Structure 1
Amino acid sequence: MSRISINMALSDFYAAHPNSTTSVLLLPRYSAGDVISTAAAALDLMINHEVHAVLGPQRSVEASFVAELATKARVPVVSSSATSPLFVPSQTPYFIRAAQSTPRRLVPSPPSCRPSGGAASSLPYRCALPTYASDDRISVELYKLKTEQTRVFVVHMTSTFARRLFARAENAGMMAEGYVWIATEGFTCLLPSFEPAVVLDTMQGVLGVRPFVRPSEALRDFQRRWRREFWKENPNYTGTDAAEVNNFGVWAYDAAWAVAMAARASVRSARNSSHRETLLEAISQTEFDGLGGKFRLVKGALNVSAYEIVNVIGEKATRIGFWTARYGLTRGLNWSSESPYSATRDGLGPVIWPGESTSGAGKGGRHPRAGGSYGSLVPGPVEPGFHSFLNVEKDPVSNETKASGYVIDVFEAAVRQLPYALPFEYVPENAKGKRAGDYNALVQEVSNQDDRSNSAWIFLKPLTAELWLVSAAFFVFTGIVVWALEHRINEEFRGPWNHQIGTVFYFSFSTLVFAHRENVVSNFSRAVVIIWVFVVLILQSSYTASLTSMLTVQRFKPIVTDYKELIDRGEYVGYLKDSFVKDVLLKWGFHESKLRPYKSPNNMRTHWQKEAKMEV
């Protein structure tokens, strides 16, 4: 896109200035996005070809290397797409940014420090992912974000990576109502070239900010000619991106025009080295009405007076307003207005948030409740001697149940390892209507929800209802296909209609136990049967494994190994006072005189020490 735009700019410039005594000659180099290759190509152009200026590179990470080389070689570098604010004229005086620098400063502030009526940002979590991160890695990070308190996400990344991110976010249920996604200009500027189906499926409701390029007849004519040039050079293009020019293409056009204009103004320079410095000064002072608006460099970067705020609705981004340093957020641009600065979105157009919601922004900061929270039942009160294992308290201010201790640490560590979000809250046992400390009721709560092996319909549990229906449908379908292929050439599939219908069902369902006795003659039938028997084998193996697991899984009941031997030998058995263990031991046949209740480990040790002294 940039190459076509630059060629068009130079062609248009010299067509408009036919008597120009200078001519800009392009020496294009393709670095394939590699930093080392980019630096090597730039060094070759500066030293071996003694170029007067470098147009590019495109990425900010590449520009950091080229800018250092340019400073030492005193060669102006003009980039129309490296928008990182890390490059400043004082450090890289030969680097010129013919695009707007990306502001990347978000200041976290507590509620007491937030300005009245202004905008403040809170950064509870920052996620940095490499561009080579796998889809699984992206999903893991998204699920972590899903468990955070916020629902507002700022996305600053390349367009290629953003495609993958939003696709995974859609799968994770994070493009639904209540979520807010805000994209920076590097991604938003490229939205016009995205495949419409991708935008429609994964990016609905996204907000974006990009430098405003005022529409004009010259711009529309350039866009038409650019598409013509693109298809002339790429007649067999089959890429997923649309053949559309965006802000970066417009800035590349204006940057090339600025270099040509500066070269014409500095033509009087005789020596090559001084010509480079003169050219740098000429580029910095060049001003003209470009395709992107007024071309004027301020502190080595393109001066952008307004930003456009867009909302992804349908297959494209719809403008909902602007942001300017003078007026803040506004619906339209009116430079003669006396309106005060606005930091609220009241002046913007209507926003359609993810999930087709019109009020999604108001839910951005709420606690995540996607699908509701899981209640984790905790017993209480706990004896003081066991607080290191479990302690349950009620926060007097928030009325929230707080749980701590070893078992809680293990539970929360396990939850953090899950590759998906699991919002939960601790629920005290007595909130279920049971008396405090009633461990029998607590164990029964678990048993009521997990013990399914006693159900008469347990054999239906290994498969879902949908899978049962689909399997039955394919059994019938397979029988019909085999009958259709065999009944004209095979006597076993002929006879009265009731006999043929019975054969269809008998043949297909008998394959479940591999006991079908009808012979098939057609080769097509044999192929169908072989494939179907293989599917049945997989289905049967999965069903058997799931059912076996359900029937043999350990019950949620306390089990004591060799407890009958303890009864026969008359051993004493200790248990936690007020726990369910006493009732279980009595039920198993232990005599109450052989049971010893304890409130803490120290209490248990003291008791057994006394018992040992008495025996001595």
Structure 2
Amino acid sequence: MGYAHFAALLLCVFMFVSGTTADNQNSTGDPARPAEVRIGALFTFDSVIGKAVRPAIELAVAHVNSDPSILRGTKLSVLMQDTNCSGFVGTIEALQLLAKDVITVLGPQSSAVAHVICHAVNELHVPLISFAATDPTLSSLEYPYFVRATQSDYYQMDAIASIISQYQWKHVIAIYVDDDYGRGGIMALGDALAKRKCKIVYKAKLPPGAANTTIENVLMQVNEMESRVYVIHVNPDSGLNVFSSAKSLGMMSSGYVWIATDWLSAVMDASVHGTTDVMELTQGVLVLRQHVADSDIQKALLSKWNNLTRNGSSYSMRAYDSVWLVAHAVERFLSEGNAISFSADPNLQATKGSNLQLDSLRIFNNGNKLLENVWSVNFSGVSGPVQFTLDRNLIHPVYDILNIGGTGLRTIGYWSNISGLSVVAPEHLYSSALNSSTNNVQLHSVIWPGQISEKPRGWEFSYHGKAMRIGVPLRTSYKEFVTQDNGPDGVKGFAVDVFKAAISLLPYPVSCNFVLFGDGLKNPSYTDLVQKVSENYFDAAIGDIAIVTNRTRLVDFTQPYIESGLIIVAPAKEVESNAWAFLKPFTFQMWCVLGENTVSALGRFVLLIWLFVVLIINSSYTASLTSLLTVQELTSGIQGLDSLISSSSAVGYQVGSFSRNYLVDELNIAESRLVPLNSPSDYARALELGSGNGGVAAIIDELPYVDIFLSKYCKFKTVGQVFTKSGWGFAFPRDSPLAEDLSTAILTLSENGNLQRIHDEWLSGRECSADNNGAASNSLSLSSFWGLFLICGLACLLALVIFFLRIFCQYSRYSSQVEVQYPEPQIVNRPARLTTIKSLISFVDKKEEEVKNALKQRPNGSQHPSIGNTAIEEQST
């Protein structure tokens, strides 16, 4: 309660004119039942809610007086005052009612008036029972005599927040009337959204009774913003002007989301002749309405009350039940023997010489007892059960969720503080026959503005404004990821290309300016870069963003191509392997009995060549296998993370990387042990020097950098397991709606193969294998022995050539000598070439000793036995 309200109250009191006093009700304090009990009602007669509640109050009073079971012998009368939709007039009217010694006041419908009147009823001990003041800041703890006979907007805003969360919208714009009712409701909405990781990004306030031009100006400003989810919380009497202006501005088309609080349902329930016009302005809008369950009491009432429709106004039913609430409380109050009496307030004394008669405002002596009976009332009314919780709110807050479409309203679900969103009415939730599969459906389908059934995205990228500022680290090493460029964008690299490719897939234009971050002398700190994003200095950041603050959101773009994480790199020192115990060198020992002739010499020559080849191959494969087993036994003294932490060796890290903070904060490694390194050459030099010589024993860095480093420096290796895995990506402010769309675009890049193509273009080049540290390049294959095979082949060929030359020479000598000594008989029908070939084959088959003996004989006319026999056999044949 502000000082302005209290000042208004004082002003009203001093302006209060005498003559408003009423007769005292049983001022003698006689405990006998009075003939009449007087209550007051305060609302705006000519308003949407006022037109609905006035007949309801009159009918309720008539029903109470005609019911013999309640207020036996006592008539209930009501005095109504019109507030004329004015806080000042409402306060004056309230004081006039209180001056007439009423024991309770029904109303007011305005939360702003209720704030002021609460001070007066607290002073005079008169319960104030409101059927329409829904401002959550109206608390019975602050105002003990305030009784809310309707549901607080605290629950209604929780229902709206559940709807927004259900459709996964994160940003909301609130359009509300700038009074206690509007401000209190929107404050409750903000709290409810915050519980669901959503928020109100802009509060568009409208002055009470705002002109159409004012409404249009506010809506035009709202339309320039990204969010397209609007929650409208205004007064029923002027709320339709907002939708009229929105339609003229094209804001009731597809892509927009409008959620109206129960003021709109009150307008629609009260509209008998103007329903068509209201429907035309609000197509696709979601509306909340206080849920009223069907009951026999309600049906009986509606049959008597023509002014209430089948889906009558919840406010009229609350007003009707409020009268019965007072009747039940007064009945118990009188039954307990309490008297209705008033006494002067010592704080309000008439001033001498003044026309103000402040003593006309008197204290209800037993008002506290009547209030206790009000809180303890429990009965079934037309609006449902009327009972208060321990925190003095009505039990079972339930809202219908309606969708306006065509010519009517369609219920798409319900909300209650027990079940949340559901398509099942809360009174049936505990039924044993309830279909569980139906209950799992939270809301039915919705027809949104523009007659579309697909859920709107809830925001549009604001291309009217300036281009997005994208922070890019000015790296001095590992420039494959991001680096400065002379092109139009000023930057290039793997991360830049992925970002640009994803932006191009968005369904709306996005203009970007890449801004370098860093001094160009060393790699910038990514923690500082992300901090700039959270402070909205940058709209996003690209690069190898591995750790983000809780005020930023990470869009992963590397999986499955890069697995980010920390890994230890250490020198690889060779030691003797146990494999030597099983692989002792061995050689072939071969003994050959060789003759003294030329053939034996050629065979011996070829055999020696082959022995040499076998020896080389055997020795090479033995050494190769031993080497392979030895590589598996490489060690650097650092076996993994635990041994590194427990040692006192120096540890290297990349300048600007998040790994430094991780080493200090998470692993508790002393800062004195840490050595900053900026480039791959720095890595290699530090590892070669070692911890005791100004270098480091190991380096902890992110896996993508390690892969590139090991591809160029093969004599180093990784040890231990990858730890603190974390995806790389683009950093956005945590509430940026662009992050979700960019994630979808990156998924599309992955599916169509463009992400792999960009990866291969920038990160696939390898100068050596990082997995086996160069062992694969030294492995043996057939090509490793091509020289030996060539020598062996040439030796065999040379031996064969010598052999055949020797055969031909011997045959030539042998043939000429045999022809001279033994003339060959003439044989008919035998080709000479065939005879020569047959003779050559026969010669080759002869024993070497026989050929030598034949060549030693001189021509003496003697016949060679073998040759002669052959000729005779052929001749005889």
TM-score (norm 1): 0.54
Q: Is the Cα contact below 8 Å between 1:266 and 1:275 reproduced in 2?
A: no
Correspondent of 1:322 among 402, 410, 414: 414
Q: 2:305 is matched with which residue? A: 226
Match of 1:258 in 2: 325
C-alpha separation in 2, matches of 1:56 and 1:131 = 20
The answer (yes or no) to whether the contact 2:297–2:381 under 8 Å persists in 1 is: no
Aligned match of 2:253:
176
Matched, 1:355 2:446: no
- 1:131 corresponding residue in structure 2: 208
CA distance in 1 between partners of 2:394 and 2:295 (Å) = 19
1:102-158: CA deviation from partner (whole Å, max 9, x where unpaired): 0247699998xx99xx95423221101112322122112212222211111111111
- Mapped pair 1:210 → 2:298: no
**Does residue 141 of the first structure (1) align with residue 218 of the second (2)?**
yes
Residue 36 of structure 1 corresponds to 88
Contact kept? 1:52, 1:275, Cα under 8 Å: no
Alpha-carbon distance change, 341 to 302 in structure 1, aligned in 2, over 3 angstroms:
farther
Match 1:303 to one of 395, 402, 408: 395
> Once the two structures are superposed, what CA deviation does each residue of 1:189-239 show, in whole Å capped at 9, x if it has no partner?
4322232122221101100122210123432342343325x9xxxxxxxxx
Q: Is the 8 A contact 2:291 2:398 kept in 1?
A: yes
Tell me what 2:31 maps to. none
Q: Distance in 2 between matches of 1:120 and 1:210?
A: 25
Q: Which amino acid aligns with 2:222?
A: L
1:96 paired with 2:165, answer no
Among candidates 328, 332, 335, match of residue 429 of structure 2: 335
Contact 1:193 1:243 (8 Å CA) reproduced: no
Does the 8 A contact of 1:151 with 1:365 survive in 2? yes
- Describe the shift of the 1:404–1:22 C-alpha distance in structure 2 as closer, same or farther (beyond 3 A): farther
Tell me how far apart the structure 2 counterparts of residues 120 and 311 of structure 1 sit (CA, whole Å).
25
Provide the secondary structure at the position in 2 that maps to 1:312: strand
Q: Pairwise mapping of residues 1-12 of structure 1 onto structure 2 (< 5 A)?
A: 1-12=52-63
Change (3 A) 1:204 1:73: same
CA contact (8 A) 1:190 1:247 kept: no
Q: Which amino acid aligns with 1:132?
A: G
Structure-2 change in CA distance of 1:340 and 1:157 (3 Å):
farther
User: By how many angstroms is 1:404 displaced?
Assistant: 11
- Residue 404 and residue 130 in structure 1: after superposition, are their counterparts in 2 closer, same or farther (change >3 A)? farther
Distance 1:215 1:244, change over 3 A: closer
Name the amino acid aligned to 2:119. E
In structure 1, the residue matched to 2:678 is: none
Aligned residue for 1:270?
Answer: 339
Distance 1:286 1:149, change over 3 A: same
CA drift at 1:188: 2.8
Shift of 1:403: 6.2
Q: 2:236·2:266 contact (CA, 8 Å) conserved in 1?
A: no
- Write the letter of the residue equivalent to 2:67: A
Match of 1:365 in 2: 459
Query: Which residue of 2 is the match for residue 78 of structure 1?
Result: 129
Say which structure is richer in strand: 2
Does residue 1:199 correspond to 2:278, yes or no?
Answer: yes
Aligned partners of 2:447 and 2:453 also within 8 Å: yes
Aligned equivalent of 1:50 = 101
SS in 2 for 1:13: helix
The one-letter code matched in structure 2 to 1:365 is W
SS of residue paired to 2:324: helix
SS in 2 for 1:362: coil
Displacement of 1:257 after TM fit? 0.7
> 2:372 aligned to 281, 284, 287, which one?
281
* Amino acid in the other structure paired with 2:453: T
CA contact (8 A) 1:178 1:363 kept: yes
Query: Kindly tell me: are residues 244 and 3 of structure 1, through their superposed partners in 2, closer, same or farther at Cα, counting changes over 3 Å?
Result: farther
Aligned pairs for 1:498-517 (under 5 A) are none
Shift of 1:345: 9.4
Give the Cα separation in 1 of the matches to 2:296 and 2:222.
45
| Shift, 1:245, TM fit | 4.1
Taking the aligned partners of 2:448 and 2:84, their CA distance within structure 1 comes to: 37
Question: Structure 1 351/10 Cα, relative in aligned 2: closer, same or farther at 3 Å?
Answer: same
Q: Find the residue that maps to 1:39 and give its secondary structure.
A: helix
Residues 23, 260 of structure 1: 8 Å contact kept: no
CA contact 2:151–2:397 (8 Å) conserved in 1:
no
Max Rg structure: 2
CA shift digits 1:424-469 (9 cap, x unpaired):
xxxxxxxxxxxxxxxxxxxxxxxxxxxxxxxxxxxxxxxxxxxxxx
SS in 2 for 1:91: coil
Does the Cα contact within 8 Å between 1:185 and 1:209 map onto a contact in 2? yes
Q: Deviations over 1:52-88 (max 9, x none)?
A: 1111111111111111111111110001001110111
For 2:339, what is the secondary structure of its paired residue?
Answer: coil
How far apart are the structure 2 equivalents of 1:127 and 1:375?
A: 23
Specify which of 249, 265, 279 is matched with residue 316 of structure 2: 249
1:427-446 matched pairs, under 5 angstroms: none
Residue by residue over 1:569-604, the C-alpha shift from the partner in whole angstroms, topping out at 9 and shown as x without a partner, is: xxxxxxxxxxxxxxxxxxxxxxxxxxxxxxxxxxxx
Relative distance call for 1:54 and 1:191 in structure 2 (3 A) is same
From 367, 382, 390, the counterpart of 1:291: 382
Aligned-partner Cα distance in 2 for 1:269–1:374 = 70
> Aligned residues, how many?
368
Structure 2 runs not aligned, ≥5 long = 1-51, 171-190, 342-363, 468-487, 504-509, 516-877
CA contact (8 A) 1:227 1:243 kept: no
Aligned mates of 2:372, 2:267 — CA distance in 1: 31
Once the two structures are TM-superposed, the CA of residue 271 in structure 1 deviates from its matched residue by 5.1
Written as runs of structure 1 = structure 2, the 5 A alignment for 1:149-160 is 149-160=226-237
Q: 1:357 to 1:24 in 2, by over 3 A?
A: same
| Contact 1:191–1:317, Cα closer than 8 Å, also in 2 | no
Question: Which deviates further from its counterpart, 79-88 or 305-314?
Answer: 305-314
Partners of 1:185 and 1:211 within 8 A in 2: yes
Cα distance 1:394–1:164, how it changes in 2: closer, same or farther (>3 A)?
farther
Distance 1:50 1:341 in 2: 55
Would the aligned equivalents of 2:387 and 2:395 in 1 still touch at CA under 8 Å?
yes
Q: 1:9 Cα deviation (Å)?
A: 1.0
